């Protein structure tokens, strides 16, 4: 069975920065890169995901998809900073004060309405 993998590096402020998208098709024997593209301001990430969708698909988005905290950092951001900050690999803080109408949350809502599911890892290891 072939699976399509779509990876999105979502621009937090799409009016200033482009969003990157990569698509791979693969199976148990490997995957092949089929597309790398840049989406500029005004181009819909949601529409591009729908355009490229297949019955067997995984979409990975590098952006905060669920933001519920009014201020401060989400636990996942704090944990990444704690574990990888010394290697200069940390997260930007996301909260509803900073990102009241985050494009990533809107994208999540659009995908959920189209029948997509969000997998959120809740297991915590030390």
The rounded distance, in Å, linking the Cα atoms of 23 and 12 is 20
Query: What's the pLDDT at 126?
Result: 45
Query: What's the pLDDT at 6?
Result: 96
The rounded distance, in Å, linking the Cα atoms of 107 and 61 is 10
All domains in the chain, ordered by first residue: 1-63 (3.10.20)
Query: What's the pLDDT at 42?
Result: 64
Query: What's the pLDDT at 44?
Result: 86
User: pLDDT tens digits, residue range 39-96?
Assistant: 886 678 999 999 999 999 999 998 888 889 999 998 888 999 999 989 988 888 889 9
């Amino acid at each position: 069975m072939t699976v399509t993998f779509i990876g999105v590096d979502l621009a937090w402020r799409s009016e200033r920065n482009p969003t990157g998208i990569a698509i791979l098709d693969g199976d148990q024997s490997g995957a092949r890169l089929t597309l790398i593209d840049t989406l500029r301001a005004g181009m819909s990430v949601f529409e591009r995901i729908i355009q490229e969708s297949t019955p067997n698909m995984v979409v990975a988005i590098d952006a905060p998809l669920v933001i519920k905290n009014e201020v401060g950092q989400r636990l996942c951001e704090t944990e990444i900073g704690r574990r990888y900050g010394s290697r200069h690999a940390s997260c930007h803080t996301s909260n509803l004060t900073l990102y009241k109408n985050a494009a990533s949350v809107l994208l999540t809502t659009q995908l959920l309405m189209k029948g997509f599911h969000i997998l959120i890892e809740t297991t915590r290891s030390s």
